[in-house]
Amino acid sequence: MSKEDQDMNIENFLMRAEDDMDFLPIIPLNEGDQEDPNGVEIPDEIALLPLRNTVLFPGVVLPITVGRDKSIKAVNDAYRGDKLIGVIAQKDSNVEDPEVKDLEKIGTVAKIVKMIKMPDGGTTIIIQGKSRFATEAIIEEDPYFRAKIIKLEEEEAPKDEDFNAYVANIKDLAADIVQLSPNIPTEASIILRNIESPAFLIHFVSSNLNTDIKDKQRLLELNHIRERADLLMQLLQKELQFAELKNKVTTKTRTELDKQQREYFLQQQLKSIKEELGGDSNSQEIKEMQKKAEAKKWPAAAKEMFKKGVEKLERMHPSTPDFSVVYNHLDLMLDLPWEEYTEDHYDLKKAKETLDHDHYGMNKIKERIIEYLAVLKLKGDMKSPILCFVGPPGIGKTSLGKSIANAIGRKYIRLSLGGLHDESEIRGHRKTYIGAMPGRILQSIRKVRSSNPVMILDEIDKVGNDQRGDPSSALLEVLDPEQNNSFYDNYLELEYDLSKVLFIATANNLQNIQPALRDRLEIIDLSGYAVEEKMEIAKRHLVPRQKDLHGLKNTSFKISDKVLEKIIQDYTRESGVRELDRQLAAVMRSQAKELALHEKVKPSLSGEDVETILGKPRYSNDLYKTANMAGVAVGLAWTYVGGDILFIETSLSEGKGELKLTGNLGNVMKESASTALTYLMSNAKKYKLDNKLFEKKNIHIHVPEGAVPKDGPSAGVTMMTAIASAITGKRVKPFLAMTGEITLRGQVLPVGGIKEKVLAAKRAGLKEIILCWQNEKDVQEIDSAFIKGIKFHYVKTMNQVLELALEK
């Protein structure tokens, strides 16, 4: 390349330069000039040109835009003279007007190859580094810096293989960086391959290195070429790693962008195809939603939220994850029956007939529902009560809820709460979660499309709680008439009015319900059924249903009252009718088999037929005849499955007057035994008992069925009677049961669960019952027909109990 061609190349580069650049791409002009610095005489004093953003190396050509007045004057004077100028880097490139302290000590003597006046008044020079120098002293600062300098001699490049490897490695590293950097022209690698001088290669690569100015200055200051090559290799390695990482990130980003662009392009094509086929289905769905919303009656807050949701949906692409979230939320809002109610049936007589037809007995609940309907009829609007039916299993609490819904003409919802342990089941999840859905209350209301259904909260006493929350606490808001008009569901994110919903909770045991929740409920106790009631239920409901289920509906087969009573008394011991239903099903299966085999069935069953089908009787009242011996008394107990009877057995043995209690008894029951014994000891003279007997005899009280836990104060009178019977040797009267709490003063206190206990005694065939006088009101609530044949003794003191219980 001739000198003129080189100059033309430089000018072409300069024409593309931006005005605000301090220097342009570096172009080597003549490698040979750098190798012979002796061809240029270096003066002892020279004008200095401070550079802000780069370092000039010997042999390297650099275009510089000169803008500072001092620098322009220095360049002009040097260009008119020998064209030599000392180029030196600033320590801090941010300093606009550098002082002596701001300049580095070592720089490069440069020859001004060409000076060009730019149209904007600026000056651009092309300089070529000749030789390194060290500043000995600054002799002038005005009008520009002049310094006394010492020329630094360059050592010759070593000829050994080790250094040659350095040079080859520098070329390879530089070529790799050029290949990875899209901004560096590919011609640069050709230039690199053609450089033969090791010193010029180091200077050229150092000058083009994309590193900090301080690192370049360090390279310039190193005197030994081997050290300079070693540092350059380290910097190149660092630069190569950065270039590889940058290339990797760029490639990854470009790939992701290409994928997004491809998906967008395909979606646009799909949209065009849909439009050709008859319009975009998504826009049609949104239009249908808006059309439904116009006919919807809902609160202003819900209307506003729906409007915002639709606007958001219109802006979203169907493929985005949030589209389905917003769509499902709007769909729920449309499906919910805002301010939509079914019309209640105010015909009270017809409602009572419906309730009586579906369920036998349960007069207290039926009266409460009729009262509620009467108020609705008169007033037209009222907050629904929160009822809670409490009673043993199998008596029809849940089915009664459905009957109530039929009677008043409302939709029916049954919500099973047994084992529920997540609060979100009641209040819903936040819709941002994957798989989020509204709570079960709103889901049920959405399903029946009515805002005033009858909602059965089944087994409310069996709600669980764990780390995921306490559902019973969430129910506090639902079951409070003062709060449930603004029930907040996390998924809906709006308040919903539940005040018109007739909530009916069912439970077996009130003790398991949280006190705050129990306080919100109107408790209605449902006791177990008497034998007479069970017979009526069987005749009206169970037998016809089982005949229908077993294909015997069109047969003349009947079950007589006597056989029904035998099945109830000999094969069931329960408060409800579930076991009775199972026994009747067994009878019907037997008859269905007879009909299938012999094509005929008996018109009725005898007692012997029942024993053939169901086996020998499971329960017998003879037990209470044979068990009549001294020290044994019969008590009455209440369990969550209804009433039951239990034996209290007392035995005396030689010892030191110790009291031993067995039978899996609770603390309260143990204390009742201690109270009974203390009362008898303190009143020994009154009852003509030997005091020494209490010191010489051990008393052992046992309650059979030891695997069943027992507790409560109601067995107090029974324990006292059993101990007195054992000590006196007098037997307790046969077919006599008792229940009541005792005190040390000799009083008998009232206890609960009287109806269940009395019906249990009736089922067991007992004929006399001793109760506290304050429990007389509870007995009066029981239908007299169900307790016919039982004699009640109402007592105030334990003295009366012993007189009635012990045989003379």
Distance CA 726, CA 700 (A): 10
User: What pLDDT shows up at residue 435?
Assistant: 79
**Residue given tokens 């116009």 in the structure block:** 294
- The closest of 455, 460, 443, 451 to 413, measured between CA atoms, is 455
Amino acid type, 392: P
Provide the pLDDT confidence category of residue 52 given band limits of 50, 70 and 90.
confident
Distance CA 799, CA 469 (A): 53
User: What pLDDT shows up at residue 795?
Assistant: 92
Mean pLDDT of the chain: 81
SS (H, E, C) 325-378: HHHHHHHHHHHCCCCCCCCCCCCHHHHHHHHHHHCCCCHHHHHHHHHHHHHHHH
Q: Which long-range contacts (CB under 8 A, 24 or more apart) does 564-567 make?
A: 564/535, 564/538, 564/539, 565/531, 565/535, 566/607, 566/610, 567/610, 567/614
Q: Name the DSSP class of 39.
A: G
Q: Is the pLDDT of residue 10 over 70?
A: no
pLDDT in tens, 578-597: 888 999 999 889 888 888 88
Who contacts 104 (Cβ-Cβ below 8 Å, separation ≥6)?
A: 88, 89, 90, 91, 217
Most confident residue range from 244-253, 480-489, 769-778 = 769-778
Burial label, 801 (beta-carbon count in 10 A; 0-12, 13-18, 19+): buried
For the chain, give the percent of residues with pLDDT over 90. 5
Residue 730 vs residue 10, higher pLDDT: 730
- The closest of 388, 414, 386 to 399, measured between CA atoms, is 414
Who contacts 480 (Cβ-Cβ below 8 Å, separation ≥6)?
A: 386, 520
User: What pLDDT shows up at residue 5?
Assistant: 44
Going from the C-alpha of 138 to that of each of 47, 119, 141, 201, the distances in angstroms are 10, 34, 7, 32
Amino acid type, 709: P
Find how far residue 497's CA is from the centre of its chain.
Answer: 25
Q: Is the pLDDT of residue 354 over 70?
A: yes
Assess contact for 426 and 382: CB atoms under 8 A.
no
Distance CA 695, CA 325 (A): 80
User: What pLDDT shows up at residue 739?
Assistant: 92
User: What pLDDT shows up at residue 738?
Assistant: 92
SS (H, E, C) 514-547: CHHHHCCCEEEECCCCCHHHHHHHHHHHHHHHHH
For range 80-87, the mean pLDDT: 88
Q: Is the pLDDT of residue 120 over 80?
A: no
Is pTM beyond 0.75? Reply is no
CA torsion angle for 733, 737, 739, 744 (degrees, to 10)?
10
- Specify the 3-state DSSP secondary structure of 5: helix
Task: Point out which residues pair with 772 in neighbouring strands.
Answer: 795
pLDDT in tens, 142-182: 888 888 888 888 878 787 777 778 778 887 887 777 777 76
Q: Go through the chain and tell me how many residues it has.
A: 808
Residue 757 among the catalytic residues = yes
For range 320-331, the mean pLDDT: 83
For the chain, give the percent of residues with pLDDT over 70. 90
Distance CA 509, CA 459 (A): 9
User: What pLDDT shows up at residue 741?
Assistant: 92
User: What pLDDT shows up at residue 261?
Assistant: 77
Q: Is the pLDDT of residue 109 over 70?
A: yes
Q: Which of 714, 733, 755, 762 is catalytic?
A: 714
Burial label, 730 (beta-carbon count in 10 A; 0-12, 13-18, 19+): middle
Provide the pLDDT confidence category of residue 275 given band limits of 50, 70 and 90.
low
Assess contact for 475 and 463: CB atoms under 8 A.
yes
Assess contact for 538 and 584: CB atoms under 8 A.
yes
Provide the pLDDT confidence category of residue 793 given band limits of 50, 70 and 90.
very high
Distance CA 607, CA 586 (A): 15
- Specify the 3-state DSSP secondary structure of 153: coil
Largest CA distance in the chain: 151
Q: Is the pLDDT of residue 794 over 90?
A: yes
- Specify the 3-state DSSP secondary structure of 103: strand
Q: Is the peptide bond between 143 and the residue preceding it cis, with omega within 30 degrees of 0?
A: yes
Distance CA 103, CA 151 (A): 17
User: What pLDDT shows up at residue 772?
Assistant: 92
**Residue given tokens 């067991």 in the structure block:** 764
Assess contact for 396 and 533: CB atoms under 8 A.
no
Provide the pLDDT confidence category of residue 796 given band limits of 50, 70 and 90.
very high
User: What pLDDT shows up at residue 245?
Assistant: 83
- The closest of 360, 353, 758, 357 to 533, measured between CA atoms, is 360
User: What pLDDT shows up at residue 286?
Assistant: 80
Q: Which of 70, 500, 757, 762 is catalytic?
A: 757
Provide the pLDDT confidence category of residue 769 given band limits of 50, 70 and 90.
very high
Distance CA 27, CA 46 (A): 25
For range 680-688, the mean pLDDT: 84
User: What pLDDT shows up at residue 774?
Assistant: 92
Provide the pLDDT confidence category of residue 281 given band limits of 50, 70 and 90.
low
Find how far residue 443's CA is from the centre of its chain.
Answer: 18
- The closest of 495, 429, 505 to 460, measured between CA atoms, is 505
Q: Burial code of 470-488, b = ≥16 C-beta within 10 A, e = fewer?
A: bbbebbbbbbbeeebeebe
Q: Is the pLDDT of residue 288 over 70?
A: yes
**Crossing angle of helices 225-278/198-208, nearest 10°?**
40
Q: Name the DSSP class of 466.
A: B
Q: Is the pLDDT of residue 620 over 80?
A: no
Q: Which two tokens stand for residue 750?
A: 């009232």
Angle at alpha carbon of residue 183, lines to 181 and 185, rounded to 5°: 95
Residue 267 vs residue 653, higher pLDDT: 653
- The closest of 187, 257, 177, 161 to 209, measured between CA atoms, is 177
